[in-house]
């Protein structure tokens, strides 16, 4: 029967999500658990005022919760380089603008149960925006990205590269094999690895853990 075990799944997600939130709070983050992507969107809209500028790097999760449309409706200026019509020069400028906006809105490739954020990046723009920036940073992270430890988190982050390569119709060894082979391909999109052991200093960092599967 459809949905027969959904309640048990939701309870398990809540227990795990709230436990991660507690760990994050001890590492300098503002953190909260929400059950659904609709609640995640509401939480994001509560944190970002109308008219603010928002930098959104490469993230499927933020798009999946419908934040791009809602922020635009509220008069927010969104900087995002996922726009195929940008020239290389325009794209370079937008990458810089993302990191200089009033808010930096992103997800994370993985988060350990004890609250460490792990991300792998091709250009390095997303991980640099996470490690350093003047503006508040907001992470939205699906419960599917919680891992037991750092090794699992790094492995998960590399695995996330595969659907991203396929999304872009790219060709890397992993897009053929279905798993990472630590390639030396010119198309490799895993060039920078960032582990945030605690919230970055000098800015507000807010994490929303969502009790649904989101992103890659
Ligand atoms: S095979 Fe290359 S591009 Fe694919 S996940 Fe591994 S390092 Fe990244």
For residue 187, the ligand 1 atom closest to its alpha carbon is 3
pLDDT tens for residues 147-184?
Answer: 999 999 999 998 887 888 888 778 889 888 988 899 99
Residue located nearest, by CA, to atom 4 of ligand 1: 174
CA–centroid distance, 43 to ligand 1, in Å, is 33
Tell me, using a 6 A CB cutoff, whether residue 189 lines ligand 1.
Answer: yes
Least confident of 1-5, 105-109, 176-180: 1-5
Does 70 score more than 90 pLDDT? yes
Residue located nearest, by CA, to atom 3 of ligand 1: 188
Residue located nearest, by CA, to atom 6 of ligand 1: 180
Tell me, using a 6 A CB cutoff, whether residue 174 lines ligand 1.
Answer: yes
CA geometry: angle 113, 68, 16, nearest 5 deg: 15
pLDDT tens for residues 184-201?
Answer: 998 888 999 999 999 999
Residue 215, phi-psi category: left (phi > 0), alpha (psi -120 to 50), beta (remainder):
left
pLDDT bucket at 84, cuts 50 / 70 / 90: confident
Element (H, E) at 173: helix 173-177
Instruction: Name beta bridge partners: 55.
Output: 79, 104
Predicted TM-score (pTM) of this structure: 0.94
For residue 161, the ligand 1 atom closest to its alpha carbon is 5
């Amino acid at each position: 029967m459809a949905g027969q075990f959904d309640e048990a799944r939701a309870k398990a997600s809540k227990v795990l999500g709230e436990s991660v939130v507690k760990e994050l709070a001890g590492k300098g983050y503002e953190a909260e658990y929400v059950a659904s992507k609709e609640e995640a969107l509401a939480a994001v809209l509560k944190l970002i005022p109308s008219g603010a500028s928002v930098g959104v790097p490469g993230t499927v999760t933020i798009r999946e919760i419908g934040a791009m449309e809602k922020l635009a409706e509220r008069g927010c200026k969104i900087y995002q380089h996922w726009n195929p019509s940008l020239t290389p020069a325009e794209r370079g400028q937008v990458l810089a603008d993302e990191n200089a906006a009033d808010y930096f809105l992103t997800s994370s490739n993985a988060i350990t149960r004890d609250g460490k954020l792990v991300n792998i990046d091709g250009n390095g723009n997303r991980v640099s925006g996470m490690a350093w920036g003047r503006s508040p940073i907001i992470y939205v992270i699906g419960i599917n990205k919680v891992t037991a430890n750092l090794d699992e988190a790094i492995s998960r982050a590399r695995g996330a590269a595969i659907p991203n390569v396929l999304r872009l119709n790219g060709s890397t060894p992993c897009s053929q094999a279905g798993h990472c082979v630590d390639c030396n391909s010119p198309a490799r999109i895993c060039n920078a690895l960032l582990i945030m052991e605690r919230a970055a200093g000098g800015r507000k960092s807010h994490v929303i853990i969502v009790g649904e599967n989101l992103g890659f």
